[in-house]
Amino acid sequence: MVMSYNDPKKHEARVKMREFIQKYLFSIKKPLQTKVVCFPGAEVEGEEALEVKEVYDSLGIPRANVVGLEYDANKAQRLERANLGIRVVNALDAIFFEKTGEKFDVISLDYTGHQTNEAVHSLELIAGRQVLQPYGILCTNYAAKRESKALQLLMFHRWTRQDIIGDPNNKLDDIFGGNFYKDRVEKLRRII
């Protein structure tokens, strides 16, 4: 069965993202100057790039300023055939962020599953290579409901300040074994 993203919950999430961009980014940057990279989506014919249409179009961000990442070649072709005016890149997000020399004001990564090592690697590349402009907005979405409490805790603390300075009360080393924080900080330092 093909998943549609034309549903009330996804629409509500896109409205909240649009409001957030309007409030926090446009106080310092004009829509015509805003550069975006996102997963536009092309699961269903006729529903291509709902995020572009519902968020970026309504904010006045030119479609020429939007890069749409799609790793599936058939879906990338569907996006191209839709002639949306965005730049479609048929690549995994991590490969794109590893190679791009561009910087973006909005990076929206609406994953369809849980937070994988590949998704984390993309975030490490965005941070390490400084792909997000100062004061830019990074929006991610994962299906954390399916994860155990321990994994939810890991995902939450992965990007908090405690991850860099160490958390004397953390239980992650006990749960996952070893030197979780030390290993993560060393990996980030190698990227940066």
Q: Answer whether residue 98 is part of any domain.
A: yes
Rounded to the nearest 5°, which phi and psi values hold at 42?
A: -155, 40
Q: Determine, yes or no, domain membership for 168.
A: yes
- Domain extent for 103: 8-146
Q: Is 156 among the domain residues?
A: yes
Q: What is the CATH number for 101?
A: 3.40.50.150
pLDDT for residue 3: 53
- The reply to whether 74 and 154 lie within a common domain is no
Whether 132 and 113 map to the same domain: the answer is: yes
The answer to whether position 114 is within a domain reads yes
* 154 occurs within a structural domain: yes
- Are 79 and 160 within one domain? no
The count of structural domains within the chain is 2
Same domain assignment for residues 111 and 165:
no
**Rounded distance, CA 3 to CA 128, Å?**
33
If you ran DSSP here, which 8-state letter would residue 184 be given? H
pTM, whole model, 2 decimals? 0.75
Residue 28 shares a structural domain with residue 14: yes
**Is residue 97 in a domain?**
yes
Do 59 and 125 lie in a common domain? yes
- Residue 113 maps to a domain: yes
Q: Are residues 75 and 170 in the same domain?
A: no
Q: Are residues 159 and 190 in the same domain?
A: yes
Q: How far apart are CA 180 and CA 100, in angstroms?
A: 29
Task: Measure the CA angle with vertex 50, ends 100 and 30; round to 5°.
Answer: 60
Q: Which residues in the chain come in under a pLDDT of 50?
A: 1-2, 161-167, 172, 192
Contacts of 98 (CB under 8 A, 6+ apart): 125, 129
Q: Is residue 3 part of a domain?
A: no
pLDDT of residue 125: 93
